[in-house]
Amino acid sequence: MRVVVTESAEEFAQRAAGGVVEVVAGRHRAALGLPSGSTPLGLYAGLARRVREGEADLSGATVFAVDELHGVPGDHPATNASYFRERLARRVPLRACHVMDSSAADAAAECERFARLIEAAGGLDLVVLGIGRNGHIAFNEPGSPFDSRCRLVELTPSTREPYAALFGSPEAAPAHGLTLGIADLLEAPRVLLLASGGDKAAAVTQALERPATEALPASVLQRHPALTVVLDEAAASGLSYSSRA
C-alpha cells in the first residue's frame, strides 16, 4: 500500500491524474473503472488539461463507470451517464465510455451485459475509487460480501443524501443502484483510492489501519497487492505516522 498525502487541491488532482495517465501510457487500450461524485472532479479536470496540452493521450482507453443509480431515466442529471458525458467524454477523447443503464427493467441482465463488456475489454487495468462516509466503495454498502459481483443493491440513507437536491428530498432519491461487486474491483491489477475532506477521515483510518471487515467495504483494499491511496490533509488526519509515509 502506498499512501500519498497532498498539501493542496491542485496537488491532489495532479497525483490522481498522474496515476491514470501512467496506466494508459503503459497500455494505450487500457480499460479504466472510474467513479463519480465530487472527489474525482479534480482528476477529470486534470486529465482534460493534460490531453489539451498534449501531455497525455486517452483516445485508446475505454472507461467503465463503477456504479450507477437504478430506476431513473438515463438522461437525468443525477445519473452517472450524465456525469461522465459532461465531465469526461465531452472533454477527453476516449475509445468508449460505458455506463450501466439506470432505466433497465431487468437489473440482473443489465449487470450481466456490463460484466461481459468488461470481459471483452480484457478486464479492468485500473480501478479508481472514492470512499463513502460509511466506508462504501462504488455502491458496495456495509455488509457487502467480499466475493460479490456486479449486481443491484439497496442504497443506504447516507449514500442517497448527496442526491437529495437533484430529486427534491432525501426520500425521493433513488433507493437502489447498480454496482460492480467487490470481487470485480479487486480483480484490477491496480487500484487508486481517492479521499478528501475531514468527513472521510474516520472511514479512511478504519479502512487502512483496522482489520478488513465486510462491515466497512473499503477495508478490503488493504489486501490488494497494488493499492495507491491519494488523500488531502483533512482525510489523512486520523492516520498514524507510518501509514502516511
Q: In what side-by-side order are the strands of the sheet with 31-34?
A: 2-6, 227-232, 190-195, 126-129, 31-34, 62-65, 96-98
Answer yes or no: 125 catalytic. Answer: no
Q: Which of 101, 125, 141, 232 is catalytic?
A: 141
As separate numbers, helices (DSSP H) first and strands (DSSP E) second, the chain gives 8, 10
Q: Which of 11, 22, 57, 134 is catalytic?
A: 134
Give catalytic status of residue 136 as yes or no.
Answer: yes
Spot the catalytic one: 80, 136, 184, 224: 136
106 is catalytic: no
Q: Give 32's strand partners.
A: 63, 126
Query: Active site includes 134?
Result: yes
Phi-psi sector, 113: left (phi>0), alpha (psi -120 to 50), beta = alpha
Rounded CA gap, 164 and 62, in Å?
30
Residue 167 one-letter amino acid: F
Could you give the residue numbers annotated as active site? 67, 134, 136, 141
